[in-house]
Amino acid sequence: MQPKIETNPYAWVERSLETIRRAGWYREPEIIEGSPGAVVLKDGRKMLNFASNDYLGLAGDPRLIEAATKAINTFGTGATGSRLLSGHRILHQELETAIAQLKQTEAALVFSSGYLANIGTISAIVGQRDLILADQYNHSSLKNGAILSLAHINEYLHNNIADVKKQLQEHRHQYRRCLIVTDSVFSMDGDICQLPELLELADKYNCMVLVDEAHATGVFGATGAGCVEHYGCTGKPLIQIGTLSKALGSLGGYVAGSKAIIDFLRNRAPSWIYTTGLSPGDAAAALAAVQIIQTEPERRAQLWKNVTHMKNNLKENLPSEFQLLPSASPIICVQVPSIDILLRVKAQLLAAGIFVAAVRPPTVPTSRLRLTVMATHTKADCEKLASRFIGL
């Protein structure tokens, strides 16, 4: 059957929006006023903030603000060009050295966002003749990087090592290279990947491993280097990606790995080559943050204390139809029976002065409240949120 020709080529947009609204998937950004932190201003009201990825409370730290301000005064607001043309500054070099030192890798490369780091790296290192084995719950940037690479993509069941092994046994021999791709902390669930087991399989089946440490850097490991450090896998052959926008309180992304990989990406990753360098202010703030996470482990210790306190309180207070998803990180998800209930609970919490994220399909398979704990929350903050679930 011939498709009906419409006179307005944009008419489909309103229809699609209507479908999104009908499914309860329609979303709009909400304005947060003033400084970031455990308490934020929204609609002129103070709100307890359990919706941010600023796990260590560094985004409003005076030292980051001072570093960014100084860099802007010295270097201006923009990098003014791509890194290979006119956009390379000494700050980029210092930041890359600091990240490599934190991650204990030979080298690092800073991108303008974590999303760009993921799509640029994956699409540069594998191609049509290669296989990507990817966790089904991977972040959108990992999924889109895989699509962009044109490699054959096989998703494995979430965190299921037996499935990875089975797929390697069945398919690895048909491809030139194989890349195993996973988040280290799963951003919409809060659980963590089984990195040592993945590395063991990678070694056995001659695969590369790319791990996205977006929610782990600054949070996991004795020095804040992430899940790789937490698992004692520092120095193993793998490619680590991350963002400067979560625990590091700034903006930008990075790749850390061997000197050869970083050299290769500088010459082959389109989302690094053909985009403007990270702004001086963002680079300077991130550099200050990398230093703070290494010298102030007490922030991390406080964060983990808060995480434990929050989980214990939630376990006691959650109604039986609300399910606490397994989490090993400051990301705590409460699965609720429907989108309607999700939006009602979010509104009730807002009315009580608590700001949380409501996450629903198609971002995740089931509707859930995503609660993120910060080092700068107090015990009373965690108790206040948990107590609000009583009798819901």
Interface pick for ligand PLP out of 54, 189, 212, 381 (rule CB under 6 A): 212
Residue 99's closest CA among 84, 91, 89, 109? 109
Residue 212: CB minimum distance to ligand PLP, A: 5
Total residues binding ligand PLP (CB under 6 A):
14
Distances (CA, A) of 324 to 88, 206, 286, 369: 46, 37, 33, 10
User: Does residue 275 touch ligand PLP according to CB under 6 A?
Assistant: no
Residue closer to ligand PLP (CB basis): 40 or 251:
251
Residue 174: CB minimum distance to ligand PLP, A: 29
Interface pick for ligand PLP out of 57, 114, 277, 280 (rule CB under 6 A): 114
User: Does residue 253 touch ligand PLP according to CB under 6 A?
Assistant: yes
How far does CA 152 lie from the centroid of its chain? 24
User: Does residue 370 touch ligand PLP according to CB under 6 A?
Assistant: no
Residue 251: CB minimum distance to ligand PLP, A: 7
Interface pick for ligand PLP out of 217, 245, 271, 367 (rule CB under 6 A): 245
Residue closer to ligand PLP (CB basis): 245 or 313:
245
User: Does residue 279 touch ligand PLP according to CB under 6 A?
Assistant: no
**350 CB-contact burial (10 Å; exposed 0-12 / middle 13-18 / buried 19+):** middle
Interface pick for ligand PLP out of 89, 92, 103, 139 (rule CB under 6 A): 139
> For residue 174, what is the DSSP state?
G
Tokens of 90: 């000494």
Residue closer to ligand PLP (CB basis): 99 or 386:
99
10 SS3 class = coil
> For residue 172, what is the DSSP state?
G
Are 307 and 329 in contact by the 8 Å Cβ rule? The answer is yes
Beta-strand relationship, 323-324 and 331-335: antiparallel
User: Does residue 183 touch ligand PLP according to CB under 6 A?
Assistant: yes
Are 218 and 225 in contact by the 8 Å Cβ rule? The answer is no
Residue 118: CB minimum distance to ligand PLP, A: 6
What amino acid is encoded at 143 in this protein?
A: K
Residue 381's closest CA among 369, 372, 368, 392? 372
Binding site for ligand PLP (CB under 6 A): 113-115, 118, 139, 141, 183, 187, 212, 214-215, 243, 245, 253
